[in-house]
Amino acid sequence: MRKQPIKIAGAGPSGLTAAINLRKAGIDVVVYEKRSDAGKRFHGDLQGLENWSDDRHVLDYLAQMNIGVNFDCDPFLSQTITNGEESRTSFYDEDSPLCYLVKRGTHPGSLDQGLKQQALKAGVPIHFGETISLEEADIVATGTISREIFAVDKGIIFETDLEDTNIFLINDDVAYLGYTYLLVTGGYGCMCTVLFDRFQELDASFERTKAAFAKMFDFEIRDPKPVGGVGGFSTRNIFQKGRSLYVGEAAGLQDMLWGFGIRTAVESGYLAARCIIEERDYTSAAQTFFQDRLKATLVGRFLWEQAGRGNYSFIVNERTNASAGNRLDLTFFYNFNRPQKMIYPLAVRAMRRRYPNLRI
């Protein structure tokens, strides 16, 4: 029987999920976080806890992974996607929203603070402002690896009089090969630009984003504060080095299609904990669980960009998939089906040219 506690480097969603599950299984665990609090790298960003990548409802799925909802979690029942000329709006049932909006950071009600509270309640000691070497850690949950960055974003959070809004703008003149979004829930807004190429244009792209949304909506922006971040990705993942298990973006786990990675982060932390509890091989389990999905999102990014020719008209046209209630079939991008497997080599070549430092 193990006498020393499991050491976890990083108090993000993947690290805290692992800690919660280990402690609930009766295993001693201690978390080390270099920042002064959970969520310190964020500043109130609104992010999407996606509910589209498979058939399991994300909140039920979190419960299965011993994660409760003690954080602000607002369902979005409609979503508009536009290229600036054409638009399409999809509507979703209350029991199956497209996604849930969550706040990131040290703010009350944020996902990060909620997970911290759950970990502390489970009896997990968290040492903020302390680090350990990666070689000492049993689980490494330290976030994005700089050489594996494939996407960057910049934006603001603000107070506003605009009603609840969920709109994505896909227009290469505004955000080349990326997207911009305006999210508002209960008077709390977040406007961001996300780029997958031409990172040097990020500042200019965000200025174009603000101008584009100002044309669409007449709304007030009060007390704006900057937010931003990066995303890392790999398909040749290293899930273990020595005794250290790697989870979340430290293992290169992300959604290359759009960069919605919270669900994957929690999954990886849970899987690492279960493998320790059950004395299973984590590398084998993680490869089985994640590899096809990672490859599918890489192909999805490639296909999305091909469909973007003609100013994304095929994607935003109201007649596309009208028989499906006008909803985009997002699950297609995550299944790694036979067509995706055939396209995969072509997609890999294209992504390697753009991101020569990524392990893909």
To the nearest 10 degrees (0 to 180), the angle between helices 111-122 and 13-24 is 20
Contact criterion met (CB below 8 Å) for 154 and 206: yes
Closest CA to 51 of 19, 73, 22: 73
**pLDDT tens track, the chain, 360 positions:** 567 899 999 999 999 999 999 999 999 999 999 999 999 999 999 999 999 988 899 999 999 999 999 999 999 888 899 999 999 888 888 888 989 999 999 999 999 999 999 999 999 999 999 999 999 999 999 999 988 999 999 999 999 999 999 999 999 999 999 999 999 999 999 999 999 999 999 999 999 999 999 999 999 999 999 999 999 999 999 999 999 999 999 999 999 999 999 999 999 999 999 999 999 999 999 999 999 999 999 999 999 999 888 888 888 875 554 444 455 567 778 889 999 999 999 999 999 999 999 999
With a CB cutoff of 8 Å and minimum separation 6, the contacts of 282 are 239, 240, 245, 271, 272, 275, 276
Could you write out the DSSP letters of every residue in 12-46? SHHHHHHHHHHHHTT--EEEEESSSSTTTT-SS-E
Residue spans of the domains in the chain: they are 6-73+105-143+232-291, 292-354
- Give the burial string for 277-305 (b: 16+ CB within 10 Å, else e): eeeeebeebbeeebebbbbbbbbbbbbbb
Q: Which fold has domain 6-73+105-143+232-291?
A: FAD/NAD(P)-binding domain (3.50.50)
pLDDT at 323: 42
Beta strands in 233-329, from DSSP E residues, in sequence order: 240-241, 244-246
Beta bridge partners, 78, equal 91
CB atoms within 10 A of CB 108: 10
Q: What is the pTM of this model?
A: 0.94
Residue 312 CA, distance from chain mean position:
23
pLDDT at 330: 76
Q: Are strands 139-140 and 6-9 parallel, antiparallel or unpaired?
A: parallel
Q: Show the tokens assigned to 118.
A: 């759950």
CB atoms within 10 A of CB 140: 28
Integer Cα distance of 349 and 360 in angstroms: 9
Closest CA to 345 of 298, 305, 309: 298
CB atoms within 10 A of CB 161: 12
